[in-house]
């Protein structure tokens, strides 16, 4: 299973980096499910909401996708980021955990669906500038396209893209700092 996953995921991410949005959406959905399975297996004693870690990992993968070498396998890269974000989530809540490095490559997580609750990312959203917050909410929660968002706020598409990009980067940075 992991061999097929690996080939498919690296193909999708390569296409995404080359500018294929549909491939990127597909990639993100797949890794969200993989990371969710991984994180849920690792969080056994509670205190950390697995979905928060999933979201932080997705954000980190997004803002750090230039660190993936396109000729290297993508799964070790994804799991290294997920592990880092998981440890970080525990650290922020004042807990220490040891995560076994070796079992990751072997026991790949089963993809799992999301559970719904209040998210850390909502609190992070509150830290954005009003313009960034409204653009990020429009594109995410309201599900608008870049064009629709531009029309809604009466600004250019470029301005929407800039606000979106800076807003996401700011949220990712905030998770790293806390």
Partner 1 sequence: MRTEDLIKALDADASSKAMPLRSAWWLAAGAAVIIAAVVFLLTIGPRPDFMIAAHTMRFLSKFVFTIVLAISAFALIRALSTPGASTGRAMAGMIAAPLLVAVAVVLELFMVPEALWGTRMVGSNMMICMGFIPLIGIGPLAIFLWMLRYGAPTRPVLAGAVAGLLAGGLAATFYAAHCFDDSPLFVATWYTIAIAALAVLGALGGRFFVRW
Instruction: State the residues that interact with partner 1 by CB under 8 A.
Output: 16, 19-21, 24-25, 28-29, 32, 36, 51, 54-55, 58-60, 62-69, 72-73, 75-81, 83-84, 114, 116, 119, 121-122, 125, 136, 139-141, 143, 145-146, 161, 164-165, 168, 172-173, 176-177
Q: Provide the minimum distance between the beta carbon of 40 and partner 1 in the complex, in angstroms, as a whole number.
A: 13
Nearer to partner 1, 4 or 66 (CB): 66
Q: Provide the minimum distance between the beta carbon of 154 and partner 1 in the complex, in angstroms, as a whole number.
A: 18
Write out the chain in H/E/C secondary structure: CHHHHHHHHHHHHHHHHCCCHHHHHHHHHHHHHHHHHHHHHHCCCCCCCHHHHHHHHHHHHHHCHHHCCCCCCCHHHHHHHHHHHHHHHHHHCCCCCCCCCHHHHHCCCCCCCCCCCCCHHHHHHHCCCHHHHHHHHHHCCCCCCHHHHHHHHCCCHHHHHHHHHHHHHHHHHHHHHC
Q: Provide the minimum distance between the beta carbon of 32 and partner 1 in the complex, in angstroms, as a whole number.
A: 6
Nearer to partner 1, 29 or 95 (CB): 29
């Amino acid at each position: 299973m992991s061999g097929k996953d690996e080939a498919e995921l690296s193909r999708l991410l390569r296409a995404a980096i080359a500018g294929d949005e549909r491939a990127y959406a597909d990639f993100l959905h797949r890794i969200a499910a993989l990371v969710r399975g991984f994180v849920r297996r690792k969080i056994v004693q509670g205190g950390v909401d697995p979905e928060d870690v999933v979201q932080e990992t997705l954000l980190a993968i997004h803002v750090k996708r230039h660190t993936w070498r396109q000729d290297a396998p993508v799964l070790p890269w994804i799991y290294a980021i997920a592990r880092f974000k998981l440890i970080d989530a525990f650290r922020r809540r004042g807990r220490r955990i040891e995560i076994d490095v070796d079992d990751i490559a072997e026991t790949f997580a089963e993809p799992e669906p999301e559970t719904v609750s209040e998210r850390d990312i909502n609190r992070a959203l509150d830290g954005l500038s009003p313009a960034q917050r409204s653009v990020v909410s429009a594109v995410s929660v309201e599900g608008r396209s870049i064009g629709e968002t531009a029309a809604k706020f009466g600004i250019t598409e470029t301005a929407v893209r800039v606000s979106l990009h800076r807003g996401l980067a700011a949220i990712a940075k905030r998770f790293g700092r806390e």
